Chain A
Amino acid sequence: MNDLSKNSRAAPGTPPLVLLKGIAKYFPGVVANEDVDLEVMPGEIHALLGENGAGKSTLMNILTGIYRADAGEIIIDGYRVDFSSPLDAIAAGIGMVHQHFKLVQAFTVAENIHLGWQETPWRASTRKLEARTAELARSFNLPVRPDAFVSELSTGEQQRVEILRVLARKARALILDEPTAVLTPAEARELFKALHAFRDGGNSVIFISHKLEEVLEISDRITILRGGRRVATERAADCNPRMLARLMVGRDIVLSDMRRRPKGAAPVTAEPVLRLEGVSAMANDGSTTLSNITLGVHGGEILGIAGVAGNGQRELSHVLAGLLAPSSGRILIDGTPVERFDPARFAALGIGHIPEDRLASGLAPALSITQNAVLREYGKPPVSQGGLYRPDAAYRLSLEIAKAASVTVPDFSMPIRNLSGGNQQRLVARREMRIARKALVAAYPSRGLDVGAINIMLKYIAELRDQGAGIIFISEDLEELISLSDRIAVLYEGKIMGVVENRDIDMDEIGLLMGGRQRAMVAA
């Protein structure tokens, strides 16, 4: 702890903006934090790295006054403080942007900025609030549209509003919880630029993440938590991804090459199990999002789809799963052209689909775990016979799926939203793999998961491949794509730019394909 401050850009003798000493927090049966130290200097971006459940959120909840620590002290600018509510933390200049935004969708940007703020004028007209918001946006260099309703904004814009909301309250230490999880690469670059500007003004940023690459890119120093304790604090310049991953999970688990088949694995079939021929598709607004795609995946093979998000991945996965009818071209399952574009029909033919937004379109969050687990098999025995639905058989099936997914469920009748995101994703993956006799369309299956959980997810997919299914694996993470895929197709503006065999893979070439320009590599 003693030699940490010498790396900071603050003048010698400046006390840390935030200093946490020996913080501990216990929940019934769980040590959320114990003996955690954290030092954040003015003018520093400090990353907090750790797996899901490593205690990052608890620690930040203590710093922002939501929880009270069971032991330890919080020292701001050299003075010991005692936060009894989030208001105290805000008054001390600590502001947090949560992963799930806390904005009122039906209010305008200006209204959201001024909501619950002491400096909001008593007689506040719409015009006055919008003028104040525009002024704030200018002074912090965070362009927002004051009169736009939050519900109309993209996630990136909503995040800017959240940040502006925090900065307007004179925050000097900005805490961001997984800020890039919801952003496109372009939006993430914008965010990083804004964070650098904020830091250069002598402020601090605490950046919570489990993405190694971006932590290395953005931060000055990195503190790694594991099992509620601090394992290390290092200068980012001294770190590399492999070492960070090891510190994070406590073992060496950097993504291995998963292309090698174990003995007894199903061979790659001669004919593709799922094939698109000259397929084009339109988005809801009538714009073409897929144009003339010809692509096939063979049984026992993993076809990776690389590309920057928003280049037609969603439509591609929807077409492959029968959710979206192509405007031209044909789809063949096992060599037979599909006549009817009905996802239930595709499922019955053996096509599984892990959707990119599992909570919004793969699950009914308010329904029970059982009801969600049987979503793909409720229509056939044993869960239903004729028109009859059998809750006991459904329960047994969900038990089986939860077991395969290694998810411990205390109560199968509780709403599935009570499970963590990682467990939800594992259940969805196992549910889809059960029906994916021919092929699995996996859209960003590891999004939002930590390193350990990503490895499990990729292992599941490799297992399915070895059982003989063809897998279409859509991801933005090149490292993950390369470690798993046999071939990689690159999607750019709805077109397949090329298909590369993994054995003669050339990162630069993929990068070029992904954007047609060298710069696209950065975005990957």
Chain B
Amino acid sequence: MVEWRLQRLPSAGTGAALGARIAAVLLALGVAAVALVLAGQNPFALAAQVIRATFGSTFGLEDLGLLLIPLLLTGLSVAVGQQIGVWNIGAEGQFYIGAFAAAAVGLFLPGSAALILPLMFVAGAVGGMFWILVPTLARAYAGVNELITTLLLNFVAALLVYYVATGPWRERGGVSNSATARIPAEIPEFWGLVHWGLPAGVLMALGFAALLAYSRWGYEVRFAGSNAKAARYAGMPVRRHLVTVMLLSGMIAGIGGMLEIAGTVHRLQGGISNNFGYLGIMVAVLARNSCLGVIASAAFMAVILNAGIVLQTQGLTSATVLAITGLILFLTAVGDEVSHYRIVRGKV
């Protein structure tokens, strides 16, 4: 008698992993299609609409590019933190503060764009680092779990930005009552509406990937992240690396906020982070914390978000869109696990 059995492999093959992910996306879309049919919609028409609106027009591709930039930066922020075993749930808050600090420079310092933009960049980076400083020190010196501290600071940052955008920094007599005036210094565009923040973000991802793979520092960070006790046994400065990596993680998210302000939105407003910080966690998880993988998973996430926006214009509620997004991520996670198994045929 021949029996089919499942066998778990210690590590998944690349082909199997990729196949499982594609299958997961298709399956999620299939489930979504069934749900849409039940809701009286035509899934094929909607899919055609989404594809047309996303890839079929310059406008759609530009939107995609603009969504990609913040996702890339927040995803990279979380992935970098994970190298040393830290969950930076606070990319959202660091993004806000990066935007806040960059806006402060852009709004209140006079000067040409060539002078102000670099200053805004530095302000965004420092702002992000500042926002993760307390969680970093608490984790490094008192062992306080960074999950809680970074998460809670998100709310402080969001409310702070909300307050200045609707209060003291509000544009008097402007069109809306909930945003600052337009910041004069702008990152130039290189293709339609897509500005140079995109290549800058990709470059940062490549840079961090190279730094981690080809530097002594990167080796030490990855080792300390995997087993801090063994890293101490080998004499690595574990605490110093922890502090550096957490600050870098905050810095990247802060730069994300700066790029959003100076390249895409041009005004500081409440909700400017648009959940990019939280979506960055998803991006990093999908990329399995690989800095190169972040580029691909951020693009994937951008397509999903963009499709969501299109679907909303077609009368689907945002809750439905969110559910489909969640389904894709959930099934991808399942697929990742499933790709560890193979079916073997054995005699009983």
Contacts and interface: CB of A to CB of B under 8 A. Distances in A.
Contacts of B216: 378-379, 384, 387-389
B346 to A, nearest CB: 8
Interface string A358-390: 001111111100010001101100001001111
Given A323-B233, A415-B10, 8 more contacts: A343-B235, A361-B227, A364-B226, A366-B227, A367-B227, A375-B234, A387-B216, A389-B214
Chain A interface residue number, banded = 35 or more
B11 interface: yes
A230 to B, nearest CB: 24
A38 B235 CA distance: 50
Interface string B226-265: 1101111111100000000000000000000000000000
Please classify the interface of chain A as helix (H, G, I), strand (E, B), loop, or mixed, using the class held by over half of its residues: loop
Given A364-B227, A388-B214, A415-B10, A344 B222 contact: no
A367 B215 contact: no
A131 interface: no
Interface in B325-348: 347-348
Interface in A313-370: 321-323, 342-347, 353, 355, 360-367
Contacts of A353: 233
Contacts of A365: 226-227
A414 interface: yes
Contacts of A360: 227, 229-230
A240 interface: no
B230 A362 contact: yes
Nearest to A360: B229
24 contacts: A70-B347, A70-B348, A343-B233, A343-B234, A344-B235, A355-B233, A360-B229, A360-B230, A361-B227, A363-B230, A364-B230, A364-B231, A366-B227, A371-B222, A375-B223, A375-B234, A376-B234, A378-B216, A378-B219, A388-B215, A389-B214, A389-B219, A390-B214, A414-B11
Nearest to A374: B219
Contacts of A342: 235
A476 B11 CA distance: 37
Interface in A122-147: none
Contact of A344 (B10, B214, B234): B234
B226 to A, nearest CB: 4
Contact of B226 (A68, A343, A367, A418): A367
Contacts of B232: 323, 343, 361
B213 interface: yes
A53 interface: no
Contacts of B234: 343-344, 347, 375-376
- Rank and list the top 3 A-B pairs by shortest CB-CB distance, nearest first: A344-B235, A364-B226, A343-B235
B235 A389 contact: no
B217 A387 contact: yes
Interface of A: 68, 70, 321-323, 342-347, 353, 355, 360-367, 371, 375-376, 378-379, 384, 387-391, 414-415, 418
Interface residues of B, number: 24
B223 A364 contact: yes
A391 B226 contact: no
A494 B330 CA distance: 54
A322 B235 contact: yes
B184 interface: no
A362 B216 CA distance: 19
B218 interface: yes
A387 B221 CA distance: 13
A60 to B, nearest CB: 20
Given A322-B235, A347-B235, A367-B223, A391 B230 contact: no
Nearest to B7: A28
Contact of A362 (B11, B233, B235): B233
Nearest to A413: B11
Contacts of A363: 227, 230
A162 to B, nearest CB: 24
A365 B223 CA distance: 10
A70 B214 CA distance: 49
Given A387-B217, A389-B214, A344 B236 contact: yes
B159 to A, nearest CB: 34
B227 A391 contact: no
A444 B348 CA distance: 43
Contact of B230 (A361, A379, A388): A361
Q: Which of B220, B223, B226, B233 has the most CB of A within 10 A?
A: B233
Given A387-B217, A391-B213, A414-B11, A361 B229 contact: yes
Contacts of A323: 232-233
Nearest to A353: B233
Nearest to A345: B235
Q: Which of B215, B218, B230 has the most CB of A within 10 A?
A: B230
Contacts of B236: 344
A376 B219 CA distance: 12
